[in-house]
Structure 1
């Protein structure tokens, strides 16, 4: 897909990652692909050079994820480990936390999961009930709560958990972030039985008075939402890139089929009933990509407020475009679109994830109607 606003370095990155994705393909070995991407510097392209990263930004990391997705081998943990956790630690972590985590995240030898969603809170971060309190005798933190739909906890070395602490001045709870190593006592996980056939598994987490040292806290205890959205905005941008990559992959499969499948002496792609919906899918994916690029550039420029608005819009547009592209691709192939040989049927569920996670399209519409358009809330 042609690009208009990327630098020569970004275009070269896109070409190189596309070649890597093509070599591995949709039947890839996830661990092998992850290891090679790490050695080539793609996993940490957004992280500071001082800690083994590429010194670029979310703009470049989203290119990596999109191109791998377009080749049929998206790496979901790219959204979580370098984009969310890596960015938060790079921006707000202590020097010790940066030294300990960023080099491994950058080269792929260490993974970090991210735990925010709760069974009763959903998209409402203000209703998070996982709480953190200090042990006055030791200065340790004690975390108690539950999380759900947390990706890759079994393969991650630690999970960055979003909890809440009490503000001594107001008595209100505010969000705080804690690094919880995988084998910490009291930190339990249960795999969820998902219809989604992805390499990365989903888990429910239980934290029962999980004891953590004082230095497990990431950033300032009083920073609250600022630190949280330093990770959530990149998450939305990367989810958009994930969706665009999947949509492109599905569209490419459909185009190959439409050019070759012949009925009544003519390839089916010659018929407007086939050609026009595929053209529409291409247009909508391109538009979503432009919004994703805008959101990534705003985030990399340090404009968190504008990046939040753009990232939500990008995620919405990409999710819608992805679902439509996959649906049209399956429809183009007819019965073949549901066979394992062509690999499109499994994308139906994966595409739906882009509409739901990490925030539903309805919540994005709420955000835009209230924050952008200035309309009143009903809640």
Structure 2
């Protein structure tokens, strides 16, 4: 499924990813998901957005979001694509030292290394300015010491390291400013606890505790004084990729519902001939297509270096895709009736998965706040 905005190269990539993902069984467990990830990495799909000099495909978020969407549409969405190449890979490629790039990017690109991303905290929620994970220098050694907590962090158990968002104190003002640190999985003082989730996903969620985690000076990614610039270099791709994730899931659910509606006959004609079935499915398709256009716009703006325009479009794309995904999954399950809740048809587990596109990485309400304040110029209530 292509659009007018796509080049011939993009269409070919979309077709190749679709053929690959559809030729593999749905990954229903961690081992299957990891195998699928490794296969995709060998084919260059995981690292398509990373620089060629470090083993990537030399593309951008446009190509990476296309890959994730087609995997989702085939029933194999990879949540960690949002995290490892899109957030962590992008941040390191843009702001990392040469050593950090050589150490991490080739492995992220070919799927042999994974990186998680830790920003959300129990008491901060959507207010990133309330992050309390702090980093301070050890004057004697020059090392960094990190202390704090994180929650709802995906895939920490399978990641080689986590890119942690901490805050350092500005010596001049005393204010805290965000900084990014690479924390290897087995670093002393870096503890994880798996959260008991109703969400059915191969990637687990964790709460992290950092108790004076000692890191070398070169664990800092980028400039200590860059602040929000570096952070949002990863958050805009995160929103774009979450949109692609939601569109892919919505397309998969819709395709299952369409197959069923064409074949299921209760009276004289297939149920898809009845407008009560056909129209909601048509509406779901329209919503998915519209959200995909905004996702492509956001990706193009980001890849063109328009961070301001990309921020607005990425938030809109994530909002639109989240809504379209939930509605498509709901209508797909409803179309199948009782069969929609059976394991055989594989749609019931998508009910909770679809909510992820609405809730994470930022809620739809916070996106509406962003648009009302930043785009429409309305005053804040907080």
TM-score bucket (shorter structure):
over 0.9
Contact 1:25 1:71 in 2 (8 A): no
Summarize the alignment of residues 240-319 of structure 1 with structure 2, pairs less than 5 Å apart: 240-319=243-322
* 1:10 aligned residue: 10
Q: Residue 263 and residue 158 in structure 1: after superposition, are their counterparts in 2 closer, same or farther (change >3 A)?
A: same
> Would you say the 8 A contact 1:175–1:224 is kept in 2?
yes
SS of match in other structure, 1:185:
coil
Q: Is the 8 A contact 2:27 2:36 kept in 1?
A: no
Deviations 1:48-107, CA, capped at 9 Å, x for gaps: 000000000000000110000000010111000000000000000000000000000000
Task: Supply the distance in 1 between the matched residues of 2:289 and 2:158 (Cα, whole angstroms).
Answer: 34
The count of corresponding residues between Structure 1 and Structure 2 is 379
**Structure 1: segments with no counterpart, 5+ residues:** none
* Distance (whole Å) between structure 2 residues aligned to residue 312 and residue 27 of structure 1: 29
Distance 1:352 1:60 in 2: 24
Q: Distance in 2 between matches of 1:103 and 1:235?
A: 20
Q: List aligned pairs for 1:54-69, cutoff 5 A.
A: 54-69=57-72
State the match for 2:112 in structure 1. 109
Matched, 1:26 2:26: yes
Q: TM-score, normalised by structure 1?
A: 0.99
What SS does the aligned partner of 2:23 have? helix
1:219 is matched with which residue? 222
User: Partners of 1:168 and 1:7 in 2: how far apart?
Assistant: 49
The separation in 2 between residues aligned to 1:357 and 1:15, in whole angstroms, is 28
Q: Separation in 1 of the partners of 2:27 and 2:215?
A: 40
**Cα distance in 2 for residues equivalent to 1:206 and 1:323:** 33
- Shift of residue 26, structure 1, vs aligned partner: 2.2
Aligned-residue RMSD, C-alpha: 0.6
Separation in 1, partners of 2:353, 2:106: 30
Counterpart secondary structure, 1:188: strand
Structure 2's unaligned 5+ residue stretches are: none
1:344 to 338, 343, 347: 347
Q: 1:2 to 1:47 in 2, by over 3 A?
A: closer
The 1-side partners of 2:67 and 2:368 are apart by: 28
- Write the distance in 1 (CA, Å) between the matches of 2:125 and 2:20: 36
